Each structure stands twice: as C-alpha cells, then as structure tokens.
Structure 1
Amino acid sequence: MQKIWSISGRSIAVSALALALTACQSMRGPEPVAQASIPEGYSSNTSGTSIAEQGYKDFFADQRLLQVIDLAVANNRDLRTAALNIQRAQQQYQITENNQLPTIGASGGILRQDTATSNGANTVYNVGLGVTAYELDFWGRVRSLKDNALDNFLATASARDATQIALIGQVAQAWLSYSYANANLKLADQTLKAQLESYNLNKKRFDVGIDSELPVRQAQISVETARNDVANYKTQIAQAKNLLNLLVGQPVPDNLLSSQRVTRITNASALSAGLPSDLLNNRPDVRSAEYQLSAAGANIGAAKARLFPTISLTGSAGYASTDLSNLFKTGAFVWSLGPSLDIPLWDWGTRKANIKISETDQKIALSGYEKSLQSAFREVNDALATRQNIGDRLSAQRRLVDATNTTYKLANARFRAGIDSFLTVLDAQRSSYAAEQGLLLLEQANLNNQVELYKTLGGGVKTNTTDQVIQQPSSSELKQQAQSQNPK
C-alpha cells in the first residue's frame, strides 16, 4: 500500500508541474491599434541618414563641450535617479519571474502536546523541506504580471535614455548661453566706451558754449543704457554657469568654458532628419510609451484571470519522530502533498470592476502613446521650420549690421564736421548696437537649433556612431511573434 501511495504522489506532483508549465495561457486580448494621425513626411524636404544615428562624440565639434557632457552623464542627479529606477524595475521583474517557480523552504520544530487519547504529554520532533502555496498558473495570471513587470522595466530603461538625450541638449545649449553671454558683454563694453567718448565730446562742446545741454543729456542716456546692459550680461554669465554646474552635478572647470563666441557646434556637414520611421526607432520617449501600453495590456490579462479559480499546491517532505535519536532512521520519513482551490463566487462585481479599470488604463496608455508620437513629429517639424529660414535671416542680419555700422560712421563724421546734429549720431549708434545684438542672438539661435534638431530626432543615446542600440521587444511584440510562429 505504501508503494502504491508513493507512486501516486509522484505522479500527482509531476502532472501538476507539467500542467503549470504548459497550460498557462495569456488572457490579455488583442492589442489596440494607435490612431495618431501622424504625417507621412516632414514639413521640409530632408534626405540621407538621420543625424540621430551619430554618437554625440561624433556630432559635437568642440572637445571642451564633449568633456562637459561626459561630466554631466557621469554626475547628473536626474540621470543617476533614472539609472536607479532601472535597477529597481529590474529587481521587481526578477520577483515576478520568480513567482512562476515554487518557493522551497526548510522547516524544523519541536511540538510538546497532551491529548485526550494519549497517556501523558508527548514530544514530536520534525525537520524537512516544503513548498508553500505554489500557484498553478492555468489562466496566465502570474505570467501576465511578469509581462507587466518586463514592460515596466523596459519603459524605465527607455525613460533613462530619454533623460540622457534631454540632458545632453540642455548642457550644449547652456554651454552656448555662457559663450554668447560673454560675447554680448564684450559688445556692451565696446558700445559703452563709444558712448562715453560721445558723452565727453558733447560735454566739452557744451562747456565751451558750442551746443546746448540737450546733446549732453542724450549722450548720457545712451551711456547709462550701455552700463545697464553690461551689468545684465554679467548676470547672464553667472546664471549660465550656475545652470551648467547644476546640469553637470559639480562645478565646471573654467578651462572647459568658452569665453569667446562659438561659431560651430557640430561636425555634421548636412543636418538630415532621415525618414519618419527612423524617428519612431530613435526616440526613446516614444518607445517608453509603447512599453507602457504593452504593460497595460498585460494588466488586463491578469485581471481577467482573477475571474477563474486559483489553484495552489502545498507540499512537504521530511522526517518526524517522538524520539530525537530516531529522527533520521528508517520509518521516520513523512511527506504530504495537496492542492488548495479558491473559487470566486460572489464578490459584488469587484473582479469585473478591476477588468474595466485595466481596460480604461489601457485606453489612457494608448492616448499617451499617440500623444508622444504627435509631440515627436511636432518637435522635429518645429526645428526643421527654424532650420529652413535661419540662413536667410542670418544673411539679412549681417547686411543690416554692415548698413548700420556704415550709417553710424557717416553720421559721426557729419556731426564732427558740424553738418548734422548729435541726434542723428545717437540714432545711428543705437541702430548699430541693436543690429549687432540681433546678430549675436541669431547666431546663438542657429547653433541652438542644430542642437535641438539633434535632440528631437533622438540623438544622444549613443556615445560613438559605431555603438549599437538594441531595442528589446515588448511583451505584446513577443506575443505576436509567438502567434505568427505557431498559428492556431
């Protein structure tokens, strides 16, 4: 009899394990189709390989900037937090994966008891191994939770890449801001010197009675305006450096900053956006939204599985004896194996409500995914629109600078010759200063636009162009692959 029960117990255990490994089926349902209404192409004609395929060490031209970016990637707190979130999501995925396997634990104990059928108190010693409440995943609930954890881990990893892209763009633009704040300060200093010369000249003419006090006060207004600009640009320099220190996560060495006007930011000779399909592959924020949509689908499968009975398996094997010296002798071996069944009968609609919540969460995730697609194309098209006209604007502004400088020289010469009043000089001087400021702003905007285009296309994940970025499939993609390989 003992042999028959032993064989039956092993058969039950093997059968249950086989069922648990083969019978789990996902109940997540069909995946939704995104209706983002995205354009088939970009607003301006672009050809060639997307600049996002270039690593940032190959895209950016200045070695000082590259060193600052490396410091930021190593020390920025937002990026560090994103990396820690990846570790957390990875451990959470490991936990859900382990839930598919039985948990085995060792146990031991001493029980002293007195019963009505025994003559006095008895002591029972036991030691063994046991499996506690191992769920047989017939309906795929545990598998769905594992898929959800996998998608959340992949979404977190993509979010970290998106954080790096944003960080590199912010560092490059803050570095440019420091450079152009210095350039504007130098222009303001030069203008202040010229304004002081005009003021001193008019004051002398007033002192000797050639002119009235009005030209003196007009010149003084220009002097004080220039002094205000000098102080303002000094403030901008300090603020740009403070921003860089925050982004980098430590003080940036002065030798890595450019006090001269930067005229070139990239090594790329042509700024190509590539194909729209490249954008979907290169933008990690879009990929993160796609993973979140897949995770929401896995949650639906877990919620639907809760409508069905939950079958758990509990077992143990070990030794027990009333005499400690006989604990491990022949005949002391004992074992037990038994399932437990949890059948939902009446829960006032709680399980069905959870399914509706999961389905609503999926719709929210779908809307977020579609919004991320639309936002990505809008950002690229905005950058391309600026790129399309920035060259004409720069050419016109340079011609304006030449014209206002010439006008200022002629007006100053006519004033010194006594032909025109100082008001003509003052007006020409202001126009020349404003044109020079406008040129610096446009040159900075041109370089910022190149950085913005690289960032919006998804550039910055790779350090070097030769690096490979592997896109891991989501659980929904794995499901579709499995269905295509094993059609029913």
Structure 2
Amino acid sequence: MSRSLPLAAALAGVLLVSGCASTGDLQPASAPVDPAGYALARSLAGAPLSDAAFPNRDWWRALGDPQLDALVDEALRGTPSLAAADARVRKAQAQAGLADAARKPTLGGSAQYAVAQLPEGLAGDEIGGQLMHNAVLMVNFDWPLDVWGGKRAEYEAALDQTHALQVEAQAARLALAANVARGYVALAQAFDALDVANREQARSERLLQLAKQRVDAGLDNRIALRNTETMIATAKAQGGAAQQQIDALRNALAALLGQGPDRGLAIARPQLLKAPAPALPSALPSELLGHRPDVVAARWRVEAAAQGIRTAKASFKPSIDLSGLVGLASTGFSDLFRSDSLLGFGGPAISLPIFDGGRLRNNLAARDADYDLAVADYDATAVQALHDVVDALQAIRSLDEQGASLQQAQAAASSALDLAQARYKAGLGTQLDVLAAQKPLLQIEQQAAGLRAQRYAAGIDLNRALGGGLEVASPNTTASN
C-alpha cells in the first residue's frame, strides 16, 4: 500500500495538469450546404422527368455505333491515366493499413552476442584488459492504448481518403469514356464536312466548265470565270482542313486508347444513329449529388477532414502506453538459460502535453481550416454539378429547336433545287440555275452536320453530368458531426 501511494499521487498530478493544454474555442467555421437548398425547379421546368432516368453504365451504346462501343471498351481496359488512378488507390489502401497497424499492439524479438574489452587504466585490474562475453535474448511488447479515439480517427481518415480516391478512379473512367465519345462525334462531323467540301468542289468545277463555255461564246466576261476559280480553291481548302481534322482526331482517339498513332488509322468512318432524347431523373438535386463521382469524392474528403479534427483533439489528452520487455542475459551462451539469467521490465506509461509553445492549438487550427477547405470544395463541386446538368439540358433544348428550323430550311432548299432541275429538263432553265440552287442546300447540310455533332456532344455532356451510371458509395455519416 505504501508503495502504491506515490504512484497514485503522480497519476493524480498528471491528470490535474492536463488542463494546461486546452482546445479553447477552436472549431470549424463552415458545414456542407444542404442539397435541398439549391433552387433548380424553374431551370428544369418542362423537362421530361422519370424515376429511372439516370443513365446506364454503358450509356454510349445508345448512340448505336458498334465501333464506338469497341473503342470505349478498349480505352477502359487500361490506359496510362487509369493505371495511375488505380495506383493512387492502392497507395491509399496501404497508408490506411499503416494507420490501422499504428493502433495495434506489437511484439518483437531480438538476440545479441557481444564481445568487449575495457582498458585496465579505465576499468581496473579486475575486469580491465579481459575479454567479456555477453549474450542477450529479448522479447519486446508495446501497445499504445487508444483511450481517446485519436488513432482510430486517424485510421478512419485514411479510409475516407481511400474511398475518395476509389471514387475518383471511377470518375477518371467516366471522363475517359466521355472524351472518347466526344472525339468520335467530332470525327463524324469532320467526315461530313469533307463530304460537303467535295460536293462543293464538284459543283464549282462544273460551274467553271460552263463559265469557260460562256466566255468562249462571248456571252460573259472573265469576272465570273475568276469568281468560280475562287470557289474551287476555297472548296479545296475546306476539304484539306476537314481531312487534317480527321487525321488529328484519329490520332487523338489513339492516344485516349493508350495506343500508338497507327491505331488511329484503323478507325473507320463513324456510323452514328440519331441522338437519343434527353431524360432527367425526378429526384434532383439530392440524388444527383450521390451519383456524381466528383461530388461523392469531395464528400469523402470532408469526412476525412472531420476525422482529422478528432485526431488533433485527442492529442490534447493524456496518452497511455503499455510496454514490456522479457529476456535472458548472461556472460555466455552456456549460462543463458539459467534461472538467474532472467531479466524483465514493463508497465504502463502516461504522458501528456503541459507546455508546447502552441503546437497543439495550431495543429488543431490547421485541421479546422482543412475541414473548411474540404467543405468549400464540396459545395463548389455540388454547385457545378447542378449547373452542368442544366447547361447540358438547355443546350439540348436549343439545339433541338435549331435543328427543327434547319430542317424546314433544308426542305425549302431541296424543293428549290427540285424546281430548278424540273425547269432545266423542261427547257425553261439552265444548268447555271441548277448549280446555283445546289449552293444553299450544301451550306445548310454543312450547318446541319455541325448542329448534329453539337447535339450528340450535349447528350454526352448530360450523361456525364448525371454521373454516367456509376454506382459509388457515399458517406453515411454527417460531416458536421
């Protein structure tokens, strides 16, 4: 009893002075915004809503081009960007394992044999100048008790960071699929532009033949001839630009596949079907934030920052460590296992900060700031997600309206061409009238090709904005807690 009193008094003194290190009024300054607070109803007014309108995981197959399906599948099988994302996930998992190991007991062993000789002038005649043999065999035990939950919070923070990187790896796959689809749509537009340029060149060359005949017959001057030559040169330049765009896009698609430039040469002309009609899920905006991988990853980082605050607060409190050492020591191996060779040491150890120059408070303040930064990033990502959906939807609406108007113009231009051809066959018109009627139709077809490509791209953007059909795990806890 008399021996335990000093120990108890020491423990009481340690607990009393623990109040010297205090968290004070340090706390985060922000909390994630409730998704229900974002106004969205008016912007989505009139949009087709459905309970099952989130895109499928393979949403690009709705474009109806088997070659595009094969290209996306090839890209997703493994490119350098995806390999890097997967490597980051594995590294985070290893770091989480290290954080988990830091809160568990450890047991180790060691063995040592040493020979020493001390000088007689220092150690005397008894042991000086003689070889001394020492053999030591030990087992070490250590267990840092996580009384305040700080080490567990650090482990959970590492897990949250792992979850964030796993979701970001999914986001990288979604971005890659969308980029391949967008590049493929641009390739289709480039081929359409090449067709229009070739047809315009053929039309202009026919005009040149007629212009030469009229000049030779004295029916016209050389101004019309030069104008026609200008149109031919312009059409050739447009065709060259379209071919250069085709080559560049094939090369870009090969890079997205993680292949060499020759892979792009094997990509045939796209055969896309009609762009699918847009549809929006009825559970906006709340469920959208759970489908978007970038938003979910940002939320996981908020949770990790919250656990970081718990870790910082736990460091203000006393830490308890259980340690022990059991072993054998003797002057030689022959005596190592005798009963009088046994040695041992162990017991609990308590330590706590008393004065640290403000290190703990500044560390907690930094963790609070990290949390506020994570919340700000989450809120900004959530806002951008909602705007991406609305931007894509508004683009689809506008492009569909423009497409309807362009169809009317195309019908009128086609009708005008039919009339010119009928008059020419009836002897009431000339080939010049027919060729002149072809020009606005070609211009409209070129506009239609660009509009069609924009409509495909807007559909791709909408699928990406809605999360691309990915199933990602969101945090279940409330970060503000």
Shift of 1:39: 2.5
Alpha-carbon distance between aligned partners in 2 of 1:263 and 1:222, rounded to the nearest angstrom: 32
Which of these residues, 335, 349, 357, is aligned with residue 358 of structure 2? 349
Distance in 1 separating the partners of 2:465 and 2:249: 22
CA RMSD between the two structures: 3.3
Partner of 1:162: 171
Matched-pair contact (CA < 8 Å) for 2:32–2:479: no
**How far apart are 1:272 and its partner, in Å?**
3.3
The correspondence for 1:230, drawn from 218, 231, 239, is: 239
1:64–1:421 distance in 2 versus 1, CA, 3 Å: closer
Report matched runs for 1:18-417 at 5 Å: 32-34=31-33, 37-41=37-41, 43-44=44-45, 45-56=47-58, 59-112=62-115, 119-120=126-127, 122-132=132-142, 134-251=143-260, 257-264=267-274, 271-276=279-284, 277-407=286-416
CA contact (8 A) 1:196 1:223 kept: yes
Structure 1 Cα separation of the partners of residues 273 and 367 of structure 2: 53
- Percent of paired sites with the same residue: 24
**Corresponding residue SS for 2:81:** helix
Q: CA deviation at 1:270?
A: 6.0
What CA distance in whole angstroms lies between the structure 1 residues aligned with 2:141 and 2:146?
Answer: 15
Change (3 A) 1:52 1:199: same
TM-score by length of 1: 0.81
The superposition leaves residues 342-377 of structure 1 with CA deviations (integer Å, 9 ceiling, x where unpaired) of 432222212211111111111111111111111001
Aligned equivalents of 2:155 and 2:330: distance in 1?
42
Deviation at 1:248, TM superposition (A): 0.8
Distance 1:48 1:80 in 2: 36
Secondary structure of the equivalent of 1:170? helix
Residue 101 (structure 1) shift: 0.6
Partner of 2:16: none
Once the two structures are TM-superposed, the CA of residue 293 in structure 1 deviates from its matched residue by: 0.8
TM-score (norm 2): 0.82
Q: Secondary structure at the match of 1:307?
A: coil
Offset at 1:208? 2.2
2:48 touches 2:278 (CA, 8 Å); kept in 1?
A: no
Structure 2 CA distance, aligned partners of 1:172 and 1:310? Answer: 56
Is 245-254 or 301-310 further displaced after alignment? 245-254
Amino acid at match of 1:263: L
Give the equivalent residue in structure 1 for 2:20: none
CA deviations over 1:82-114 (Å, ceiling 9, x no partner): 111100111010100111112222111124456
Tell me, in whole angstroms, the C-alpha distance in 1 between the residues paired with 2:283 and 2:311: 38
Q: CA deviation at 1:151?
A: 0.9
Is contact 1:183–1:261 with CA below 8 Å preserved after alignment?
Answer: no
Q: Name the SS of the counterpart of 1:52 in structure 2.
A: coil
Q: 1:88 to 1:260 in 2, by over 3 A?
A: closer
Letter aligned with residue 119 of structure 1: E
Deviations 1:453-474 (A, max 9, x none): 111100153xxxxxxx461646
Secondary structure of 1:128's partner? strand
The CA deviation string for residues 291-341 of structure 1, in whole angstroms up to 9 with x for no partner, is: 111111111112222223333333222222223123234443332113444
Of 242-251 and 382-391, deviating more is 382-391
Structure 2: distance between partners of 1:53 and 1:452: 11
2:287 is paired with a residue whose SS is: helix
Matched residue, 2:23: none
**C-alpha separation in 2, matches of 1:316 and 1:168:** 58
Could you tell me how far 1:427 is from its partner in structure 2? 6.8
Name the aligned partner's letter for residue 105 of structure 2.
Answer: P
Q: Unpaired segments of 5 or more residues in structure 1?
A: 6-27, 462-468, 481-488
1:444 maps to: 453
TM-aligned CA distance change 1:472 to 1:398, over 3 Å: closer
C-alpha displacement at 1:436, in angstroms?
A: 0.9
Give the length in aligned residue pairs: 443
What residue is the counterpart of 2:19 in the other structure? none
CA distance in 1 between partners of 2:235 and 2:271 (Å)? 20
The AA in structure 2 aligned to 1:47 is L
Q: Secondary structure at the match of 2:126?
A: coil
User: What letter corresponds to residue 86 of structure 2 in structure 1?
Assistant: A
Q: Report deviation, 1:198.
A: 0.5
Is the contact between residue 125 and residue 324 of structure 1 (CA under 8 Å) also seen in structure 2? yes
